[in-house]
Amino acid sequence: MLPYLKQTEEQITTYIAGVSTETVKSSLRKERRDFQDLLNLISPAAEQEIEQMRSIAVAYRKMHYGKAVRLYTPLYISNKCVNSCAYCDFSIKNKSPRKTLTLDEIIKEAKAIKALGMDSLLLVAGEDPKSMSIEFLEQVVKEMKKYFSYLSIEIFPLDTEGYKRLADAGVEGLTLYQETYNQELYLELHPAGPKRDYLSRVDAIAHGGKAGIRTLGVGFLLGLYDWRSESASLAAHAIWLRKHFWKSKIQFSFPRITPVGTGFQAPAPVSDEELEQMMLAFRIVFPEADMTISTRESGKFRDKTALSCAGLLSAESRVTPGGYADAEDKDVGQFMLNDTRSAEQIKDDLKKSGLEIVIKYWDKCI
């Protein structure tokens, strides 16, 4: 459980298990909701009210984002990593060959992504201080800003100064998943490497907030631990960030474990129904927050949740460094994808559901 909470995990999970349908209905009737309402909406009792939750979520999504859905593409600049996360193929224990792209190779990737008709980029890298210095990252960001309107990063934690340098270079968004908020499990899954420090990871996203990064992306890896307990921690974390960094927007992601080469089995798998309930609950309690749904999910599930929850979708993701310019690249990817549609196909499918595809949602000049 997220430290700093006034209630213990046992109190919270006992409360969630005992929520009545009436309490769920009362949360749904409110105009503005809080942490307690989130607990009510992720409860087993709320499963009965899923239709009502869907219609409220659709209304909020429409109010805040209209019919627009934004698309972005990840660019993996390195799969070298000194951590040993049990669920990730970039783990140092996985002996497959690794690479870090050079600036020229990154530009080649950027051009290939632009050719797909995309204008928002998520830079992803494993944690490898030797090949991934802050100076190099800064240089990459400045170069990418020449090609893309909107840049975000999903890399290892930095301090406030590091984030500030990247924000000044053009980074608008930061994503840093806690993986699991359960401390014992966290230690078990991260046996070595700098990532083993649970508290420094919890605090790192706040460094991004202090550095003035506009969008703070949070989430946990679905399938590691009880999703209800994790959701409570995630909501508390988000409320804390929102209060302290009032100029930053919170973005929720719901990465669900897909098969990886290491054969890691999710100890607490989350079903489609549960994932939808969780997303609806967060959409209703945090109507103004951004929400993404990645290509880890099937096209069908993504298109469905784009109507009620997610306003931000990745498209044509390739999770290996160099995967765009060299489509035949067989290097190690981070995880398995379930939505392998082309960007064009995704755009067509979303348009058919009545959504407007937004490619440009920021500007190079800001």
Partner 1 sequence: MKALKIADTEFKSRLFLGTGKFSSSEALKRAIAASKTELVTVSLTRVDFENNEDDILSAIDSSKVKIMLNTSGARDAEEAIRIAEFGRAAGNNWIKLEIHPDPTYLLPDPIETLKAAEILVNKGFIVLPYINADPVLAKRLEDVGVHTVMPLGAPIGSNQGLKTETMLRIIIEQSTIPVIIDAGIGLPSHAAAAIELGADAVLVNTAIASADNPENMAAAFAMAVRSAELGIDSGPASASLTASSTSPRNTFKDLF
Using CB under 8 A as the criterion, which residues of the chain lie in contact with partner 1 when the complex forms?
62-68, 149, 214, 242, 246-249, 288, 351, 354-356, 358, 360-363, 365-366
Q: Which is nearer to partner 1, 125 or 213 (CB)?
A: 213
Token representation of residue 228: 């209800």
Residue 167 beta carbon to partner 1: minimum distance, rounded to whole angstroms: 12
3-state secondary structure of 206: helix
Which amino acid makes up residue 183? Answer: Q
- Give Cα separations from 153 to 171, 176, 315 (angstroms): 7, 9, 16
Is the Cβ–Cβ distance between 281 and 232 less than 8 Å? no
Residue 315 beta carbon to partner 1: minimum distance, rounded to whole angstroms: 17
- Give Cα separations from 86 to 51, 162, 231, 331 (angstroms): 37, 27, 21, 19
Q: How far apart are CA 29 and CA 218, in angstroms?
A: 27
297-299-300-301 Cα dihedral, nearest 10 degrees: 30
Residue 201 beta carbon to partner 1: minimum distance, rounded to whole angstroms: 24
Residue whose structure tokens are 């494993």: 126
Residue 325 beta carbon to partner 1: minimum distance, rounded to whole angstroms: 24
Q: Which is nearer to partner 1, 111 or 360 (CB)?
A: 360
Q: Which is nearer to partner 1, 273 or 356 (CB)?
A: 356
Q: Which is nearer to partner 1, 97 or 354 (CB)?
A: 354
Residues 6+ apart with CB under 8 A from 246: none
Q: Which is nearer to partner 1, 288 or 344 (CB)?
A: 288
Residue 216 beta carbon to partner 1: minimum distance, rounded to whole angstroms: 10
